[in-house]
Chains A and B, each alone.
Chain A
Amino acid sequence: MAEAILEVRDLVKHFPVRVGVLFKRTVGHVKAVDGVSFELRRGETLGIVGESGCGKSTLAQVLMRLEPPTSGTASFEGKDMFALRGAELRRLRRNVQIVLQDPYTSLNPRMTVGDIIGEPFEIHPEVAPKGSREGEVRELLNVVGLNPEHINRYPHQFSGGQRQRIGIARALALRPKVIICDEPVSALDVSIQAQVMNLLGELQRDLGLSYVFIAHDLSVVRHLSDRVAVMYLGKVVEIGTEEEIYGQPSHPYTQALLSAVPVPDPLLRGRREVIRLAGDVPSPVDPPSGCRFRTRCWKAQDVCAEEEPELITRVAGHPSACHFAEAHVVVGAERENS
């Protein structure tokens, strides 16, 4: 097993909810990330799945140090990420980069592609001295499958998939060790999505990158991930290898999530197990007591409201935060006859 390159412990990020015009007072907190722990090993992809509002993007922002954490620790190669200052922090930023979801708003429309991809070198001149920058940018364009001749074009001259490649080239510029991919393919058309996913896979193999791959699409996550964490309302409810999560999910939420994904095979129609959750995700300002999933869970008992289930291994060889965790095959368990 490879060593951990990124270790996150009990990470918490609360956003205050303020009311009032002149005298602002805090009336509560959005508990976006509420005690998340995981480790990312060198060269692997950790997928993070969850629905909107589960805190997966906030997690990405905190790990990028774009938002300060409320509490908790994260260490990159053994160094406390949140304690770093000055030159050390700059070095960390070199090593951890991000690819954002929306290729339309994450690129400055007034900058040429060459300037966008080359901008990281302004802040980190040690990576590429001034004279070599254009060559570096051309090389990066080549690596992500774009024409190096297009270095002087503007973002609007590219399609969505090409823009996402530009975003990836920018993330690669400083030769990082970890890339946090925040929904990198969800804005793309199906035929383009596969191109970008293949590119991410190739880059990982060639450059030995580690990915934190955040997405809501469970098929996409399965395709790229070695291990997967499932988030619900700011917490990891289940974590394990890709086989464990998809083959033997033991948390009811994971099971429901997997069963809700439509499978592109009409022959399975009516033959797949369907678990339908009632209602919507509760507000992260005032999450349910005990287990946060209990309000939508069909297994909920009194204990679920009183006692928060720990994320520990109870069954199926991987941790799951459910008092009544039991492995249950959802995907690929089609009934023979219907």
Chain B
Amino acid sequence: MSTVYDGERGEFVAGEEQATAPLLEVEDLRVEFRTNDGVAKVLNGVSYHVNAGETLAVLGESGSGKSVTAQTVMGILDTPPAVVLGGHVRFHGEDLLAARPTRRMEVRGAGIAMIFQDALSALNPVFTVGFQIAEQLRVRRGLTKAEARKGAIDLLDLVRIPHAGQRFRSYPHEFSGGMRQRAMIAMSLALDPELLIADEPTTALDVTVQAQIMDLLRDIQRERDMGLILITHDLGVVAEVADRIAVMYAGRIVEQADVYSLFRTPAHPYTEALLQSLPRLDLKGQELKAIKGLPPSLAHIPSGCPFHPRCPRVAARCSQEVPAYRRVADGRFSACHFAEELIPRG
């Protein structure tokens, strides 16, 4: 689905059907962490949206703010130290940041669900996997113990855990890494969410298991026409599953585009540099084009464009003016002063 920037409303809207709001819309989200060591500006105006049935990949390195954005959307941010300074999180047009805690609780799980990187620490070690899945069905759906048990076994079956009936009684430590991640996916699907946020779901897994889990997520998403936000640092995974990509750097989205355009002609030097720094399985390596320097500390974000100290295309104005995040082509957004020069016209 194409998206355009609506200048008057100052937000992104779907191309053809401007009347219907996207499934989730994050707008100008600003979050900082106040600690004894100072203030870290973790999110500095993050905007993105996801439609039903669509996969948005949020790509970024550690500390870029991709997980904090997801936690803010889910309402599971630790406050303090985090403080939400401003912005909107609209789910079906309803601003969750303005909603009452009970309403947020209703949306959590049933509207938006989330899975995490480290399945072992996300699961409670002293309860069986089956109990933890069934618990939601009992508490939120009001099912009886027997009904919930049946529902949980169906879910374990859905995520392709063999012998689900027996595995229901297993504890998390009895599962392999891949099975734990499957169990967590089963748990997240218990209340039929419309949007699933997957925060580095395969980073801790081996490559053959990673492929199984990504296949599973894709199949489930298709069957349920679910929106999916995939948070990752892996450009390979992004290239295989994403519809659109939002690239984050120092608490900002620096580029957003459909997956094909972004890989073909990146509209931000950071994206370009990331793509060039990758060793490729299918290409024999020469010297890798490494990005010089380090990601900035969020307590001392460089002036102007936060990427300018590391940017190969840096110019004088980059250290002074913060580049506007703007539409640079059909469905493409970039926060680089020179974005228009990076992509071919037309």
**A residues engaging B (CB < 8 A)?**
51-52, 159, 161-162, 189-195, 197-198, 201, 216-220, 222-224, 242-243, 246, 256-258, 260-269, 274, 276-277, 280-281, 331-332
Q: Specify which chain B residues have a CB less than 8 angstroms from the CB of A195 in the assembled complex.
A: 290-292
**Could you list 15 examples of A-B contacts with CB < 8 Å?**
A51-B209, A191-B290, A191-B291, A192-B294, A194-B290, A195-B292, A198-B290, A219-B278, A224-B285, A260-B211, A263-B240, A264-B235, A269-B239, A280-B176, A280-B178
Does B145 sit at the interface, judged by CB under 8 A?
A: no
Given A190-B274, A191-B290, A194-B288, A257-B279 contact (CB < 8 Å) = no
Q: Specify which chain B residues have a CB less than 8 angstroms from the CB of A224 in the assembled complex.
A: 285
- Of A190, A194, A274, the most chain B CB neighbours within 10 A belong to A190
Contact A280 B209 (CB under 8 A): yes
Q: Specify which chain A residues have a CB less than 8 angstroms from the CB of B177 in the assembled complex.
A: 52, 280
Does B61 sit at the interface, judged by CB under 8 A?
A: yes
Given A223-B285, A258-B281, A191-B273 contact (CB < 8 Å) = yes
Contact A264 B294 (CB under 8 A): no
Q: Specify which chain B residues have a CB less than 8 angstroms from the CB of A281 in the assembled complex.
A: 206
> In the bound complex, what is the Cα–Cα distance between A222 and B234 (angstroms)?
17
Contact B260 A266 (CB under 8 A): yes
Specify the chain A residue showing the minimal Cβ separation from B242: A266
Specify the chain B residue showing the minimal Cβ separation from A221: B279
Contact B215 A276 (CB under 8 A): yes
Contact A332 B282 (CB under 8 A): yes
B283-335 interface (Cβ within 8 A of A): 284-285, 287-292, 294-295
Q: Specify which chain A residues have a CB less than 8 angstroms from the CB of B195 in the assembled complex.
A: none
Least Cβ–Cβ distance between B228 and chain A, in angstroms: 16
Specify the chain A residue showing the minimal Cβ separation from B294: A159
Least Cβ–Cβ distance between B141 and chain A, in angstroms: 32
Q: Specify which chain B residues have a CB less than 8 angstroms from the CB of A280 in the assembled complex.
A: 176-179, 209
Q: Specify which chain B residues have a CB less than 8 angstroms from the CB of A194 in the assembled complex.
A: 277-279, 288-291
Contact B208 A264 (CB under 8 A): no
Contact B295 A191 (CB under 8 A): yes
Q: Which of A243, A256, A331 contacts B208 (CB 8 A)?
A: A256
Specify the chain A residue showing the minimal Cβ separation from B209: A280
> In the bound complex, what is the Cα–Cα distance between A246 and B280 (angstroms)?
11
> In the bound complex, what is the Cα–Cα distance between A193 and B210 (angstroms)?
21
> In the bound complex, what is the Cα–Cα distance between A256 and B36 (angstroms)?
50
> In the bound complex, what is the Cα–Cα distance between A268 and B264 (angstroms)?
12
Given A216-B207, A258-B281, A264-B275, A198-B287 contact (CB < 8 Å) = yes
Least Cβ–Cβ distance between A72 and chain B, in angstroms: 26
- Of A52, A194, A266, the most chain B CB neighbours within 10 A belong to A266
Given A256-B208, A280-B178, A190-B233 contact (CB < 8 Å) = yes
Least Cβ–Cβ distance between B134 and chain A, in angstroms: 24
Specify the chain A residue showing the minimal Cβ separation from B61: A189
> In the bound complex, what is the Cα–Cα distance between A268 and B239 (angstroms)?
9
Contact A277 B260 (CB under 8 A): no
> In the bound complex, what is the Cα–Cα distance between A174 and B289 (angstroms)?
30
Interface string of B243-263 (1 = CB under 8 A from A): 000000000000000011001
Given A159-B294, A262-B236, A246-B211 contact (CB < 8 Å) = no
Does B120 sit at the interface, judged by CB under 8 A?
A: no
Q: Which of A190, A256, A266 contacts B263 (CB 8 A)?
A: A266
Given contacts A189-B62, A277-B212, 12 further A-B contacts (CB under 8 A): A51-B209, A189-B61, A189-B233, A190-B61, A191-B291, A194-B277, A194-B279, A195-B291, A223-B285, A260-B210, A276-B212, A280-B209
Contact B287 A222 (CB under 8 A): no
Given A51-B206, A216-B206, A269-B277 contact (CB < 8 Å) = no
Q: Which of B208, B234, B260, B294 contacts A267 (CB 8 A)?
A: B260
> In the bound complex, what is the Cα–Cα distance between A257 and B277 (angstroms)?
22
Q: Specify which chain B residues have a CB less than 8 angstroms from the CB of A277 in the assembled complex.
A: 208, 212
Least Cβ–Cβ distance between A227 and chain B, in angstroms: 14
Least Cβ–Cβ distance between B288 and chain A, in angstroms: 4
Q: Specify which chain B residues have a CB less than 8 angstroms from the CB of A268 in the assembled complex.
A: 239
Q: Specify which chain A residues have a CB less than 8 angstroms from the CB of B237 in the assembled complex.
A: 262
Q: Specify which chain B residues have a CB less than 8 angstroms from the CB of A191 in the assembled complex.
A: 61, 273-274, 277, 290-291, 295
Q: Specify which chain B residues have a CB less than 8 angstroms from the CB of A269 in the assembled complex.
A: 239-240
Least Cβ–Cβ distance between B56 and chain A, in angstroms: 14
Specify the chain B residue showing the minimal Cβ separation from A49: B207
Interface string of B264-278 (1 = CB under 8 A from A): 000000000111011
Least Cβ–Cβ distance between B198 and chain A, in angstroms: 15
Contact A276 B211 (CB under 8 A): yes
Q: Specify which chain A residues have a CB less than 8 angstroms from the CB of B238 in the assembled complex.
A: 264
Q: Which of B208, B273, B290, B295 contacts A51 (CB 8 A)?
A: B208
Specify the chain A residue showing the minimal Cβ separation from B207: A260
Q: Specify which chain A residues have a CB less than 8 angstroms from the CB of B209 in the assembled complex.
A: 51, 280
Contact A263 B274 (CB under 8 A): no
- Of B62, B176, B259, B279, the most chain A CB neighbours within 10 A belong to B279
Least Cβ–Cβ distance between B57 and chain A, in angstroms: 11
> In the bound complex, what is the Cα–Cα distance between A281 and B212 (angstroms)?
13
Q: Specify which chain A residues have a CB less than 8 angstroms from the CB of B236 in the assembled complex.
A: 219, 261-264
Specify the chain B residue showing the minimal Cβ separation from A185: B279
Least Cβ–Cβ distance between A310 and chain B, in angstroms: 24
